[in-house]
Every structure is written in C-alpha cells, then in structure tokens.
Structure 1
Amino acid sequence: MKLSLILVGVVIYYQYLTKDYNEIDWILSRGILPILTTIMLTFSWVNINHENKYNFSLTLVSSILALNIITLGDGCSAFLSLIILSVLFIFLNAKSLVNKYRYKILISVLILTCTSFLLTHSNLTNRFSTAIEFLSLLSENGYSTEDLHTPIKGKSDEITNIRLAMYKGGLLAAKDRLIFGHGYRNTTAPASKFVGNKKLATQIAKHSHLHNTFINSLVYGGAIALLTTLALLLFPLKKFWQSLRAKNNTKYAILGTLLMSSYA
C-alpha cells in the first residue's frame, strides 16, 4: 500500500509540474483519487507500532506524497476526511503505543507537511473560505438554496449550492414514501421535483445519486433501507470497538474501525 501511494504520488506531482493531463486524468487525479488516497493513507499507518526502520521510512515518504495528492485535489471533503480519520487513528492508537518517539515523528511530519502544502497551494484554503462564506449567506437566507444561484462566485459555491439543494430535496422526497422509498437508484429524479429553482433541479436530475449515503438510502428504499444501512455500519463498528477495548487483535480492530468510519 505504501509503495502504491509513493508511485501514484510521484505521477500526480509530475502531472502537476508539467500540466500534462487531460479531462479524464483530472477526474481521476483530482476528483476521485484524493478520497481513495485518504483512506489508503490512514490504513497504511495501522502497523506503525511494529514496523522496522525501512518500513517506517516508507511510511513517512508515502504520507508526504499522499498529503500532496490530497492538497492538489483541492477537495474540501477529502481534506476533512483526512483530519477526522487522522484524529480517530491517534485516539485509537494512543493506548497501544510501542514507540512513542516514532509516533511523535509521524504526527510532526503530518502537521508540518499539511501546513506547508496549504501555505503553498492556496486553492484548497480558498475553497474552504468560499464555502464558509456561502454557508453564512445561506443562514442569512433561512437555508433556502432556491434564490442563491445568481451570486455564485466560483465552483465551490456552486457545488455547495447543488449539494444542499440535493439534501433538502431528498429529505422532502423521502417524506412522500417514507417506508419503502421510490425504488432502487431512483433518487435524484424525485429529489429534483422538490427543488424550486429549475436550474438546480435540472442539474440534480442529471446526477446518479445524492452524494450522501444515508439520504440516498432513505430516498430509494425508505426507512427500511436506511435502517439496514445503519445496521451494516454500526454492528461491525461495535465488534471492532469491543475487540479494541479487550486488546484483542488491536491492529485489525483499529483497521476495521477506520474502514467503517471512512464509509460513514
């Protein structure tokens, strides 16, 4: 996994330096890859307590390159996922430390690398600031997305606008068929009917899902699908947590907890 992160990290950084990528490359390297990289990165830390010096060096190098992929992707969701999963890993691993000095080195490298990348690549921080400004505007407008299609200043605002309209429309559509839902993969069409702005409704209808697992489940399968999704998430999480507290297969318990949390 570490070698995969290093290889992909080198390729992405080469693309960034040379600007040698097409639209498909952009979708893979900046749209999908940062999320996958975040999950792979946190998984690669699980065995840190038992790594030799060579593997620990690979961990540090792969972490730096992976953080570069996430930063260059300009994705707020990937970076927030990284923060959440990193904090969760630190919390879960704190009681099973073998080498605290090595642990401090990893955390220091992560903090310094993230800080330096954020300072040198302003796109991600700009997207965070515009998203916050847009949410503030929404709160002043009573969280209505219907009248906010005009003052969009950048793509970040537009994405936030569409996502919030999706969630709102999805929840309203779910109320119509609360028990059994609207049918498998039939989510965006019902949700778009509850969006007053025609431009937003058309954009939402073109998507294949609502970009939220729980709302998606609620719309297509109703309360039954939502409860099933929650059960599939929470029951394994409970088992992993019990194993962690009992110090039984701690490494795999941490890995399982991170896996279920990354899905959520």
Structure 2
Amino acid sequence: MLTRIWRERGMYAFAVPGFLFFVVFAYLPLLGNIAAFQNYSPFLGFSGSEWVGWHNFATIFSDPSVAIALKNTLIIAVLQIVFAFPAPIALALLLNSLISERTKRIVQSVVYLPHFLSWVIVIAIWQAVVGGAGPLADLMGALGADHVNVMANPDTFKILVTSQVIWKDIGWGTIIYFAAISSVSPELYESAAADGAGGWRRIWHITLPGILPVTLLLLILRIGSVLTVGFEQILLQEPTVGSDAAQVLDTFVYFRGVVGGDWGLSTAAGLLKGVVGTCLVVAANKLAKRAGTDGLF
C-alpha cells in the first residue's frame, strides 16, 4: 500500500488541496454541531457554555416561526422539483431536436449566461422588469388593471422564486443532459426511424430511457438538498414580502442565530436539516435501485 502511494505520489499530491478543502470547510465544522446541545455563547466557547441537552430541539418543534419557515421551505422545494428540475431536460430535448447547429449554439450561449450572474444582479433585473416601476406594471396599467408589483406580492412569491431559479439555471443544467443525450447510440435512432417511429416516439422510447440514470442521479441529489432552497436569493427579497411568505429554514437560522444570537437553537435547526437531507438521500437511492438503476451509491 505504502509502496503504491509513493509510486503514485504525484497524483496524490494533486488530490491534497481538494482533500484539505473538504477537511477544513466541511468536516471540521461538523464539530460545531455540539452547540445544538448547549446554550452556546461565542464569548464562553464550547467548554464554558451551559449544556441544555435536547432543549433546543424541543423548542424547534414548539416555535411557530419554525413551522412557518418549514412550510415555506417545503412549498418552494416542491415547486422547484416539479417545475425547475425538469426544465433543463425539456430544454435539452428541444435544442437537441434543432437541425441548425448555429441556432443551437446561439441559444445555448444565451441561456447559459444567467447562471454566471450573482443573485443580486438577477433580482435587480427582475425588479426592473416585473417590479412596480417596470414595463409589466406599465402594460397592466395601460390595460386598465390595478397597480401590479410582482416582486412585492406575498401571494405569488413562491412562484416568483421558482421562476427566477428556472431563468437563472435552466441553461447550465442542460450541459449535463446534453452529455447524456450524446452518449445514446445513433444506431438506435436510425433503427427506430427505419421502423417508422416519429420524433416524439424516438424521444419517449430512446432518449428519455437513455438519460434516465443521469436524471435519477441528479434527482437524488436534489432531494437530499430539498430543505435548502436558496439562501441569498430569498434573503434579498424577504424584506419586501415579509417573513410570513418568504422566511425559510436557512433564513430562520441566519436571523435567529447570527442576528439574534441564539446560536444553540439555530445550530439545532441546521443539524436537523442535515439529518433529514441524509435520510432523504438514502431513501431516494434505495427507491432508485428498486427501479432498476445503479443509484448514487
């Protein structure tokens, strides 16, 4: 073993920076979860803070703010899985059906661009377009409708958030599906066309089954992060629509822990979120294996 490591020492040297990154920023911070069982104070540290056992977890289940944050998180997560997750698949299938390579490359370049914009810029763009002073409000006013400000409407905020995610990441998500589609054998399409199968039948019986393993893999990973629905995106818009409509678990942890100083309760909420996400990944992986795929692990 040691001989092999020494022989491949150059390759292992390349892996060291990545390994250290995860150790420092992912695994060592896990030790901080001990604060979930304490009335933690940064000034007293872990050794000086009072131990409260499961009190923080009991408070979570009785705090109405947590119930509101959990409800908003689940609604946004379901909307994103139902609408945002399939959007890159649909776009990849659409672009793959285009005959003109030039048109395909132009569309790809346009839809990729929003992914590289920060959420601050994305929300500023949406504010300029669908906000109270944007062209949408002017158009609705010209049609005789009441003043429209989509960005400040609590009733449609969750749909707004999902739409922003689709607009920002749909192009980036197609990269993986394009790679999966390209791995499907062209002979299958030729055989299907020779048998009289049309475009829709070739997509349904060849393309979709061909990208199914990749789709399930990404779906499992998405389910694992179902309680993480976009901290920065929602934090920037929460003051406009109010916490009842916009507060999610991530913003609850931020406001209660970082701003409010209740480190123990916010750590307990984050720990619970991680445990639930892990259980969901394991469950989804087992279901994927029962469906006949390799799953994630």
TM range (shorter): under 0.3
The structure with the largest alpha-carbon Rg is: 2
Q: Which has the higher contact order (CA 8 A, sep 6+)?
A: 2
Normalising by structure 2, we get a TM-score of: 0.22
Normalising by structure 1, we get a TM-score of: 0.24
